[in-house]
Amino acid sequence: QVQLQESGPGLVEPSDTLSLTCAVSVYSISSTNWWGWIRQSPGKGLEWIGYINYSGSTYYNPSLKSRVTMSVDTSKSHFSLKLSSVTAVDTAVYYCARYERRGYYGDYWGQGTLVTVSS
Amino acid sequence: QSALTQPASVSGSPGQAITISCTGTSSDVGTYNLVSWYQRHPGKAPKLMIYDVTNRPSGVSNRFSGSKSGNTASLTISGLQAEDEADYFCSSYTTSTSLVFGGGTKVTVL
């Protein structure tokens, strides 16, 4: 069973860059899947942030595209998210997920990590 | 893109059937048969329940079924059980080459 685990700072200051990593285990990150990030802000629904494949191709949510950068490190079997110029509205539980090869649904998810943006 | 619209909550008694709606637009649900549904228990990882509108992944109970009509997709849970109490989210591919989720529905088993 594919396992994904998010990690990163739980507190980020406004205007800084949020950085998270998702470790993938029991599965090759170099397979033909997409590796994605999704978040849920307090009181709101899920929001797709984007995904990346093993070769570094990316698709981002148009509303976040200007602030998002994703990367993948196949040697360490992990992929990462950077979200720049954060504000309080970026406070959320961030999930990583494996998307099937077409990229239409996430079939394995991490448990999520809470990131709070505050000074 | 705007989030898909789901009812905030749905409840039912054990053994009953409930349906959760997910309303989008012609830019997402109405155009693509690429709606998926996820179940999330508190503090747990979301679990894929339905993909491509009607398909169940291996291991998901056949009490869960999906359908779509026009711009609205639906998830039906038949024979409601206590373990079904959770949050449910729908998702769809969009014409913007992106994905959009619903606001989520809290299912309560009375």
pLDDT digit string, tens, across residues B44-89: 999 999 999 999 999 999 999 999 999 999 999 999 999 999 999 9
- pLDDT score for B96: 86
Mutation for testing the B interface, residue in A98, A104, A107, A114 having most B CBs under 10 Å? A104
Give residue-wise pLDDT tens across range B21-40: 999 999 999 999 999 999 99
Taking residue A59's Cβ as centre, other Cβ atoms within 10 Å add up to 20
Return the percentage of chain B with pLDDT > 90, whole number: 95
Tokens (6 digits) for A100: 């099937």
- Distance (Å, whole) CA A50 – CA A68: 8
What is the distance between the alpha carbons of residues A37 and A21, in angstroms, rounded to a whole number?
10
pLDDT the model gives residue A109: 97
Q: Which tokens hold the place of A45?
A: 């629904």
- Kindly determine whether residue A104 and residue B44, on different chains, have CB atoms separated by under 8 Å: no
Q: Are strands A92-99 and A106-109 parallel, antiparallel or unpaired?
A: antiparallel
What's the pLDDT tens digit per position in A13-55? 999 999 999 999 998 888 889 999 999 999 899 999 999 999 9
**Whether the Cβ atoms of residue B109 and residue B79 lie closer than 8 Å to each other:** no
Identity of the residue numbered A82: K
Residues of chain A contacting B47 with CB distance shorter than 8 Å? 109
Check CB contact under 8 Å for A45 and B6: yes
CA distance A12 to B27: 35
Chain A window 73-112: which residues touch B at a Cβ cutoff of 8 Å?
95, 97, 100, 103-112
Residue A38 has a pLDDT of 98
Q: Which amino acid is at B15?
A: G
Instruction: Give which of B6, B27, B98 to mutate to test A binding, by max A Cβ within 10 Å.
Output: B98
